[in-house]
Amino acid sequence: MLPAAARLRRSEDFREVMRRGSRAGRRRLVVHALQAQDPSAAPSRAGLVVSKAVGNSVVRHRVSRRLRHLVAARLGTVPPATALVIRALPPAATASSAELGADLDAALKRLSLLKDRRPDRSGDHDDDGPAV
């Protein structure tokens, strides 16, 4: 669950992030991000947009719960004072949590808000040739 201080609530905030922020689209969702000029000003916040195009009320709420859980786990890893709006697309209705998480990670990486979680393998081998 997202704490109250980590949620976007006002329509003006959503509008500002979606109009002025950067955008990265994936198959199941679109992430809009806007970083504040003063990073010490506030914590990172997020808001969700799940329209009727995604499905009926039960489906929309299931998608919202999954996205809320995924965003809460990643909100601490984005730079401070970043506002995110995650907009679910119709394919999100049939997606698993893992698929939504992969799309969210890919979008955040594209926006340079999330570091690659794979370990660095640059030190695993020498460039002197094959080992004998």
Q: What is the DSSP string of 22-83?
A: EEEE-SSEEEEEEE-SSTTSS--EEEEE--TTT-SHHHHHHHHHHHHHHHHHHGGGSPTTEE
What pLDDT shows up at residue 116? 55
Residue 1: pLDDT over 80: no
Q: Largest Cα–Cα distance of the chain, in whole Å?
A: 64
Would residue 125 count as lying in a domain?
Answer: no
Would residue 118 count as lying in a domain?
Answer: no
Would residue 126 count as lying in a domain?
Answer: no
What pLDDT shows up at residue 42? 79
pLDDT digit string (tens) for 85-130? 999 999 999 999 999 999 999 999 999 887 655 444 444 444 454 4
Would residue 94 count as lying in a domain?
Answer: yes
Would residue 8 count as lying in a domain?
Answer: yes
Angle at 12 between CA 90 and CA 81, to 5 degrees: 90
Would residue 64 count as lying in a domain?
Answer: yes
Would residue 20 count as lying in a domain?
Answer: yes
What pLDDT shows up at residue 110? 94
Number of independent structural domains in the chain = 1
Range(s) of the domain holding residue 12: 4-110
pLDDT digit string (tens) for 36-88? 877 676 788 999 999 999 999 999 999 999 999 999 999 988 888 899 999 99
Mean pLDDT confidence for 5-25: 94
* CATH number of the domain bearing residue 33: 3.30.230.10
* Alpha carbon distance 42, 36 (integer Å): 9
Mean pLDDT confidence for 11-33: 95
